[in-house]
């Protein structure tokens, strides 16, 4: 288990407390907009940024250890393959034994790098570099992966293929992971626990599904995509209910404005008589309202206690 | 309209021709008269001049690289406030006229100085004079090279579990090496062409630049030109090789 109880000073935001326990095989997500301190916290875990407190892996205290002996693999957000070495060479040199072994072959083929191994880092595109970096991080065979926006440069099919491979690997080898992401979908897909960060501050912390179902405060709700408040209820476009609105805690009537594609369905803007404007997703299979239509829609809106701070 | 276009097209050609003539004129003079009058070089001066020049410059380059490389690496990791100070210190031998550097060196290395070295008019005195003229160029260029290696690569290397020496030898050094080659090329050219400091510190043994001046004084231009050609022939291969290599490595 990775035990984290750290005070990290985040540039411009002062000292911040980071506390989490990540079991073996578990994933912690750091979620927030850019500038919220995800990268700094990840760097503090890796050992690049000064931190005070406790950081231990299975009882082994890591805070006094230098970067190079911590049982982590760190993948920064910016492209970081060594420009002067071929991809194969940097993968081999990242292996603890520094030999091209069967595991390396598995990584190379699983991450779609077979045809790229002879190329120097400087000749690889952003997406290719990202896959190469992931391979290099995994080649190190760490106990904990520290990944900073690891899928940001990947196209959707590659993303899902690599996601499936990584998930298998994490499960079969019981690796732990700390993932920094600004995408709530990633958080829901990967994390057992998430820390919502805003300007270096922990806004909420918990299991992603539970936080989404019952946001502990309004800033947290906003970060997860809740767009407005009616009374003490938070409204998320994806939690609109069209077929049986009257069972919902919030029911609105209004006129449809904008209609834009969203996933398999559409998203509509609804202007109510009292001047409030809300957005609601219309999933596939529900009859689509047209612009100007008068509609009635319910929201499965969780109750949100006012700001904690 | 048409003439405007043709002027625009002709301008770069004219510029290149004029600049080319200006820049190549010395080289042409050197080639034509140097080769024609090659036989006029006093034969006794040729070998000692060549070997002294090559030998002293090689040692000067070696010393410059051996001391300058770690120094440049250290400087590239200095906090910003101290950098300014280091830049100023390094600039001193660059800003002082070489003759002044030579005079102070002659004083320091001379038999009457505190050091009691008595290195004036010795091979090692010549080497020291050449190091003073060459080293700052190497250190500045190498410093920029080390400073230009993105911190991110070094951090990633550490995160792979590599010890500091491995990070340096596998990442920092190779990525800085194009600059190191350019710095070495400049240092070599400065060392082998050094005149101001060596003429004061070491009139004997003589390298090519001082020897050239002596021949010019004693015999005249026709005898000096072929010797100048020899100096260029001796001085050029290493920097040209280094520059080609650095272009290749940076690609």
Give B163's contacts in chain A (Cβ within 8 Å). 68
ipTM above 0.95, yes or no: no
Is B161's CB within 8 Å of A140's CB? yes
Closest chain A residue to the Cα of B250, Cα to Cα? A84
Which structure tokens are listed for A120?
């120097």
Instruction: Give domain status of residue B5, yes or no.
Output: no
Give residue B2's pLDDT band: very low, low, confident or very high (50, 70, 90): low
Provide the residue range defining the domain that includes B136.
37-250
Nearest in space to B158 (alpha carbons), one of A102, A291, A46, A68: A68
Q: What is the pLDDT of residues B169-196, one digit of tens each?
A: 999 999 999 999 999 999 999 999 999 9
- By percentage, how much of chain A surpasses pLDDT 90? 79
Q: Does B250 touch chain A (CB under 8 A)?
A: no
CA-based nearest distance A218→chain B, Å: 37
Nearest to A72 among B159, B162, B163 (CB): B159
Q: What is the pLDDT of residues A206-237, one digit of tens each?
A: 999 999 999 999 999 999 999 999 888 999 99
CA atoms of A82 and A88, how far apart (whole Å):
11
Is A72's CB within 8 Å of B170's CB? no
Closest chain B residue to the Cα of A78, Cα to Cα? B152
- Residue A199, Cα to own-chain centre: how many angstroms? 17
Instruction: Give domain status of residue B15, yes or no.
Output: no
Q: What is the pLDDT of residues B13-50, one digit of tens each?
A: 999 999 998 989 988 999 999 899 888 887 777 778 88
Closest chain B residue to the Cα of A136, Cα to Cα? B160
* Number of domains forming the structure of chain B: 1
Tell me, what CATH number does B173's domain have?
A: 1.10.3720.10
CA atoms of B65 and B131, how far apart (whole Å):
10
Is B155's CB within 8 Å of A96's CB? no
Is A68's CB within 8 Å of B155's CB? no
Query: Is B154 in contact with B171 (CB distance < 8 Å)?
Result: yes
State the Cα torsion B191-B193-B197-B203 to the nearest 10°: 110
What domains, with CATH codes, occur in chain A? 2-211 (3.40.50.300), 225-299 (2.40.50.140)
Closest chain B residue to the Cα of A45, Cα to Cα? B159
Q: What is the pLDDT of residues A9-35, one digit of tens each?
A: 877 777 888 999 999 999 999 999 988
Is A82's CB within 8 Å of B161's CB? no
Q: Does A207 touch chain B (CB under 8 A)?
A: no
Q: What is the pLDDT of residue B46?
A: 78
Interface test with B, best of A46, A79, A84, A92 (most B CBs within 10 A): A84
Give A69's contacts in chain B (Cβ within 8 Å). 161
Is B163's CB within 8 Å of A73's CB? no
Instruction: Give domain status of residue B17, yes or no.
Output: no
Full DSSP string of chain B = -HHHHHHHHHHHHHHHHHHHHHHHHHHHHHHHHHHHTGGGS-HHHHHHHHHHHHHHHHHHHHHHHHHHHHHHHHHHTS-HHHHHHHHHHHHHHHHS-HHHHHHHHHHHHSTTSTT----TTSHHHHHHHHHHHHHHHHHHHHHHHHHTS-HHHHHHHHHTT--HHHHIIIIIHHHHHHHHHHHHHHHHHHHHH--HHHHHH-SSS--HHHHHHHHHHHT-HHHHHHHHHHHHHHHSHHHHHHHHHHHHHH-
Q: Does B163 touch chain A (CB under 8 A)?
A: yes
Give B153's contacts in chain A (Cβ within 8 Å). 80, 82-83
Closest chain B residue to the Cα of A83, Cα to Cα? B175
Is the pLDDT at B1 greater than 60, yes or no? Answer: no
Q: What is the pLDDT of residue B249?
A: 80
């Amino acid at each position: 288990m990775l035990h984290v109880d750290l005070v990290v000073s985040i540039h411009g935001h002062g000292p911040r407390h980071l506390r989490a326990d990540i079991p073996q095989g578990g994933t912690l997500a750091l979620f927030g907009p850019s500038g919220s301190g995800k990268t700094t916290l990840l760097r503090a875990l890796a050992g690049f940024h000064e931190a005070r407190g406790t950081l231990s892996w299975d009882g082994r205290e890591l805070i006094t250890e230098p970067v190079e002996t911590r049982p982590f693999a760190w993948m920064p957000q910016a492209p970081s393959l060594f420009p002067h070495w071929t991809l194969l060479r940097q993968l081999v040199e990242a292996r603890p034994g520094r030999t091209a072994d069967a595991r390396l072959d598995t990584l190379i083929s699983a991450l779609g790098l077979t045809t790229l191994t002879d190329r120097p880092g400087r000749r690889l595109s952003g997406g290719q570099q990202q896959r190469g970096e992931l391979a290099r991080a995994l080649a190190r065979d760490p106990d904990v992966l520290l990944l900073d926006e690891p899928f940001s440069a990947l196209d959707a099919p590659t993303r899902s293929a690599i996601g499936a491979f990584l998930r298998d690997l994490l499960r079969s080898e019981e690796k732990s992971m700390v993932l920094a992401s600004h995408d709530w979908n990633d958080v829901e897909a990967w994390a057992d626990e998430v820390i919502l960060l805003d300007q270096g501050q922990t806004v909420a912390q918990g299991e992603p599904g539970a936080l989404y179902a019952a946001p502990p405060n309004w800033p947290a709700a906003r970060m997860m995509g809740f767009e407005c408040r009616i009374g003490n209820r938070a409204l998320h476009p994806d939690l609109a209910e069209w077929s049986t609105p009257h069972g919902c805690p919030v029911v609105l009537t209004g006129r449809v404005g904008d209609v834009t594609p969203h996933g398999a369905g559409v998203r509509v803007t609804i202007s109510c008589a009292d001047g409030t404007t809300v957005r609601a997703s219309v999933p596939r299979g529900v009859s689509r309202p047209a612009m100007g239509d008068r509609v009635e829609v319910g929201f499965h809106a969780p109750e949100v206690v006012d700001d904690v701070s | 309209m048409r003439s405007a276009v043709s002027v625009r097209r002709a301008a770069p050609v004219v510029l290149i021709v004029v600049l080319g003539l200006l820049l190549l004129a010395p080289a042409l003079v050197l080639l034509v008269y140097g080769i024609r009058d090659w036989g006029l070089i006093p034969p006794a001066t040729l070998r000692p001049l060549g070997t002294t020049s090559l030998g002293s410059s090689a040692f000067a380059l070696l010393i410059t690289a051996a001391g300058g490389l770690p120094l440049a690496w250290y400087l590239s990791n200095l906090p910003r406030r101290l950098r300014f100070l280091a830049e100023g210190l390094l600039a001193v031998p660059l800003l002082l006229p070489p003759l002044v550097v030579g005079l102070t060196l002659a004083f320091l290395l001379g038999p009457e100085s505190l050091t009691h070295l008595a290195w004036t008019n010795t091979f090692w005195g010549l080497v020291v004079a050449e190091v003073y003229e060459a080293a700052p160029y190497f250190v500045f260029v190498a410093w920029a090279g080390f400073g230009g290696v993105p911190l991110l690569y070094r951090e990633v290397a550490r995160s792979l579990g590599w010890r500091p020496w491995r990070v340096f030898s596998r990442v920092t050094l190779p990525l800085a090496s194009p600059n190191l080659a350019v710095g070495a090329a400049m240092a070599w050219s400065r060392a082998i062409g050094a005149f101001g400091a060596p003429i004061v510190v070491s009139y004997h043994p003589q390298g090519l630049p001082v020897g050239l001046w002596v021949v010019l004084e004693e015999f005249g231009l026709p005898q000096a030109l072929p010797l100048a050609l020899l100096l260029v022939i001796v001085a050029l291969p290493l920097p040209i090789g280094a520059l080609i290599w650095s272009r290749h490595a940076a690609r």
